[in-house]
Every structure is written in C-alpha cells, then in structure tokens.
Structure 1
Amino acid sequence: MEGQVVMGLQKLRVMIGSTTAIGLRALARLPHGTRLIGLAASYPVIERWLRALLCVYQPFPDIETATKYIRRFIPAGHEHSDVVSQLKQFADVTRESDYPVLFYLSGYAPGLSRVFDLGGGIGNLFYPYDRELRLPATLRWMVHDLPDKEEIVLQFAQSRHENRIGFSRRMEDASGVDLFIVSGALHYFEDELAVILARLAELPRLVVVNRTPFSRADPIVTTQVGDGYVHACKLHSLAATIAGMEAVGYRLVARWPVHERASRVPLRPDLNDTYWGLFFVLEADRRRRDASL
C-alpha cells in the first residue's frame, strides 16, 4: 500500500511538471516571454520553486545527474518497448531530414566499405539509406548502442535477410571508417563530437550528424519525456560543435534545419534552437591522429 502511494505521488509530480513545462513554453512564445522567464529564474528562490514544479522537465548540470534524478520518477528509458517498436517502423520510412544526407552522401556511397552508426538503435537507418543509395554488397555497417540492443539488431537484420549489419561494443571500431554517422543520438552523449572522434587512432573520412537538437549558446542538459519513458540529453552548442570539428581537421560541407522535432527547455527558452543536420569531410592531410590525442 505504501509503495502504491509513493508511485501515485511520483506520477502526480510528473503531471505537475508537464503542466508547468507547457505553461512556460507557452509564455516563451509571447512577446518578452523569454526575458520574463529569465528574469524570474534569476531570483534563486523562484528558480528553486520552478525547478521543483518542473520535476523531470527541469535543466540539469550533467547527464549522469539527470539520469539519477529522473529514474526516481520514470524507470524506463531507451530500453522501453515503444522505443524499439518505433525504430522498427523507421526502417521502412525515408524521413524528410534523411534527404539532405542522401544528397551529400550519394557521390561517396559506391566507395563505402565501413560505416560506424553511433547510437544506431536497431540499425534502422541502414535500410532507408540502402533503398535510396544501393549501398555496396561488401559494406559493413556497424551499429554501436547499448548492449541490450545487440540481439535485437542482429535478429532484425536476419528477419530482413541482411548480412551487412553487425553490432559493435567498442568505440575503437570507429577508427578510420569511411563514414561515421550519429543520427538522433548525439544529444545522449556528454562529450562533444570532436572529443569523441579525437580519441580514435584514425579519424573517419566522413561524419554525418542528423536529427540532433542544439543550443543557441551554452550547452544545457535537459530531458525527453515520452509515454512511460524518459531520456536525459544534452543540447550541445551548435557553434562549438562545428568549431570543434574544424579544429580536429574537418570541413563543414553543409548544415540543414530539421523541423520534424523540437526540443524546448522550459526554464531556458533563450537557449532553445531547432534540430540540425551536419555533413563533414575530413581534410586529406588530417586523417591520422597524433598518439597524444
């Protein structure tokens, strides 16, 4: 009985948080609304009160802190069955934001031999790309995701009679690949993209970022709340992400807005931005990294 009361109170707090978030997002769309929210949050007492009301919808200092907090209220995250079901549906759909990637990747597609799909879910991105680009028969597409996804990735590929997809548990397998792609997943990582890539012995030749929410200025950690699940995520700075990639030797070929989704941090509407896609090509003389990096 006591456990049911606690669960009921937790659900109530999440509902209050959702209502508060909706109200703040509506206020932010009004003239001077963003300034008003910023002014209110500048007072420590009001800011603490708003955070308490927002519950899982509040900003956090880092992903680890956010994850520990939100799991007290909503236990399920990326492993939720609805998330996996949605990924299976995406395998049969070429979404609007895929087309810029397909356009810029088309000239490179025949020469691709190794692809590393960071946060690749069940490998669902491979299927629309293969339909549109007719990827080489010798291609090896490696999905890197949470360990519990491995069996699902391989079973789904088998159900599609597809032998080009594998699962990687090691980031080191991204070293020197032809294409490193992170679509709808970069915001689940604490580190900047350039920092992740700089750890590799050899940089990937092409890097694609897609369906990723960014911040207009400083990075900020927030949450994505679904029906029965919640993810902690970090909105990296768009400008800093591009600058970091250029610093390690990449050239930005294109960037495009993604309007399929929106991420709105209720307490920091000044940082809200759209989702973006980015296409990078490594400068020829920068592929091998110093051991010191």
Structure 2
Amino acid sequence: MAGQGSRIRRIVKEIRELPGISVLARPWVRGRFRAHRRGNAYFGVYASYADARADIPASLPADYDTDAAAGLYEDRLTTIETSDYPALFWLRQLIDAGERRIVDLGGHVGLSYYAFNRFIAYPADLRWQVHDVPAVMRRGAALATERDSARQLEFVDLAAVDGCDVLMAKGALQYLEYSLSDLLKRQQVLPRHLLVNLTPLHPTRASFTLQNIGVAVCPYRIGSLAEFVPEIEALGYRLIAHWEHSERRVEIPFHPEHSVQSYHGFCFALADPS
C-alpha cells in the first residue's frame, strides 16, 4: 500500500506541473504550503535571501528565533542519526589531533555536544561554543545548567568564529543570510578546520527557496556544488573529505530544475594554519 501511495503522489505531482495545469495548481499548492504543520515543505525560487524573506506570509514567523523553534529536536540530545556519523567521525579525528575550541554554527541547544559525547571522550580543556538565534541560545543556556556538568558548553556571538580550531556547521548553512565564504572573509584569523554536514547543494545552480518547518517559514539557501568547494579552497583551505546524503532531497513544486537530489558534507583543513 505504501508503494502504491507513493506512485499516486508522483503521478499527481507530474500532472500538476504540466504546462497550463501548473497555472491553476500553483495557488492550491501555495495554500497547502502555508498550512503545512509537520515535517518540511518547500515553495518558490528566489534570487536572494531578501527576496525569499519578502515572500513569507505575514501571519507566520520568518525564522527560528521563537520559543517554539527552540523546543524542537530535544529528542536528539541523546541520539545519533545516520547522517551524523560522517561529522562525528571527523570531529573525533580533529579532537584526537589536539583541536580544542569548537564553534558549532547553528548548533541549536547543543544537540551535537550532548549526542556526540556518547562516542567521543571530551578532553577536560575542550570548549564547545554554539552560535544560534537568541531564543534558541537562551533555551540552550538554561538546559546546560541542568545537563552540562562538565561546563564545557557555551553560547556565544558570531565573533567566536575568529581563530577557532574547528568551525562546524551541521545543517545550518542553508538558513544563513550570509554564505560560508562570506563569513570566513570577515575573520582576522581563519578557523584551522571546517566541518560541514547536511548542506543542500545543486550541481550547478545557486538559489533560495522557502522552507516551512511547521513552526516557521524560513528563507532556505541552495548552494552550487560547482562553486562551493572552489570558493573555500580560494581562501587557503584544502579539501580532506567530501560525502553525500542521497536520502535527503529538496523538491520545489514547479521548479524541478532547481530541486536538490542530495545533501553534502565536507572536511577542510587550512593549508597554512600559521
């Protein structure tokens, strides 16, 4: 039955995107997108973050900076998802090699800090610094008073990126108004390593769409794989590893040419950290 349902949904999607029919179907699909309340849904293609944000319905929050968003995902404090393992592997290698200050960009309430601790013996001098939106960091700081007995977790502003040992962005780059390369260009001292995971990249096209996560609608960056690695390498990094998550996709109604068939992860090292 599940397979039959999947085939029916695929046929309906193909029909609604036929020329002529798509004009009639678009308002209905947009209405369903606005009413979406569970999981992730996508709509629209935009040239910039500002263009995408301007098209968010006024009745819905336009980012994660809400108490409802801060309460999401706390079931992941003690669980590891399949998509976490590449980042877990490389972070363990980096910590074993002596890296001690981790900046977890978009790290929510410290989800990876708590979950990875089951598999990595954190050294006593480790500093794990999370930067996220204010509502999420407030929730994270309150949670840390209860759960972080080692007192190694901090919630910091974006200036902490400067000179850190590892900048980790796990499923976060797509929500930022700035790109990773733009962020790095603003640093006086570049991070020694970059650990990126769960990032949607199209083979050639860069664009923005809107993502409805149920409690908010956010501009959602889709980068170009053809541009992403060269931009980082141009700043002095060398690529250590690249992996794909083929189970993750972004399907944008009426825009199959902009849809994404897999998410990506990377580990970079600064070629000359001195």
Please give the TM-score of this superposition, normalised by the length of structure 2.
Answer: 0.81
For residues 223 and 211 of structure 2, what CA distance do their matches in structure 1 show? Answer: 15
Equivalent in 102, 108, 121 of residue 108 of structure 2: 121
* 2:131 corresponds to 1:144: yes
- Cα drift, residue 244 of structure 1: 0.5
Q: Does 1:65 align with 2:80?
A: no
Match of 1:3 in 2: none
CA distance in 1, matches of 2:29, 2:185: 37
1:183 aligns with 2:170: yes
Shift of 1:173: 1.4
Aligned to 1:83: 69
Q: Which residue of 1 aligns with 2:267?
A: 279
Instruction: Write the letter of the residue equivalent to 2:155.
Output: F
1:79-108 C-alpha deviation (Å, 9 max, x unpaired): 455533332111111111121122223222
SS at match of 1:232: strand
Q: 1:97 aligns with which of 68, 83, 90?
A: 83
Please say if 1:172 is aligned against 2:159: yes
- CA drift of 1:254 comes to 1.2
**Residue pair 1:114, 1:140 contacting (<8 A) in 2 also:** yes
The answer to whether the Cα contact below 8 Å between 1:214 and 1:235 also exists between their aligned partners in 2 is yes
AA aligned to 1:277 is G
Listed one character per residue, the Cα deviations across residues 125-146 of structure 1 (whole Å, up to 9, x for unaligned) are 1112222111212111111111
How has the CA–CA distance of structure 1 residues 222 and 76 changed in structure 2, closer, same or farther, with 3 Å as cutoff? closer
Instruction: Find 1:134's aligned residue among 121, 126, 133.
Output: 121
Tell me the secondary structure at the aligned position of residue 121 of structure 1: coil
Q: Deviations over 1:54-91 (max 9, x none)?
A: 53622223222322321424236414555333321111
Asked if 1 retains the 8 angstrom alpha-carbon contact of 2:109 and 2:136, the reply is yes
Q: Quick check: 2:56–2:62 contact (8 Å CA) kept in 1?
A: no
5+ residue gaps, structure 1, are 1-21, 289-293
Partner of 2:37 in structure 1?
none
- What CA distance in whole angstroms lies between the structure 1 residues aligned with 2:259 and 2:142? 38
Question: Letter of the aligned partner of 2:126 in structure 1?
Answer: L
Aligned counterpart, 2:38: none
Q: Could you state the TM-score of these two structures normalised by the residue count of structure 1?
A: 0.76
* Aligned-partner Cα distance in 1 for 2:185–2:105: 15
Number of residues paired by the alignment? 252
Instruction: Tell me the residue number matched to 1:154.
Output: 141
Partners of 1:221 and 1:262 lie apart in 2 by 15
Q: Give yes or no for contact 1:220–1:236 (8 Å, CA) kept in 2.
A: yes
Letter paired with 2:52: A
Distance 1:198 1:228, change over 3 A: closer
In structure 2, the CA distance between the partners of 1:250 and 1:49, relative to structure 1 (3 Å rule), is farther
Shift in Å, 1:123: 1.2
**1:224-281 Cα deviation digits (max 9, x unpaired):** 2133432211101122111101111111111111245321122321232211111111
Task: Among all aligned residue pairs of Structure 1 and Structure 2, give the percentage whose two residues are the same amino acid.
Answer: 29
Mapped partners of 2:270, 2:178: distance in 1:
20
Does the C-alpha gap of structure 1 residues 50 and 234 become closer, same or farther in structure 2, counting only changes over 3 Å? farther
Extract unaligned runs of 5+ from structure 2: 1-8, 34-42
Alpha-carbon distance in 2 for matches of 1:94, 1:100: 11
Distance in 2 of aligned mates of 1:215 and 1:25: 24
- State the alpha-carbon separation in 2 of the partners of residues 217 and 186 from structure 1: 17
What SS class does the counterpart of residue 248 from structure 1 fall into? coil
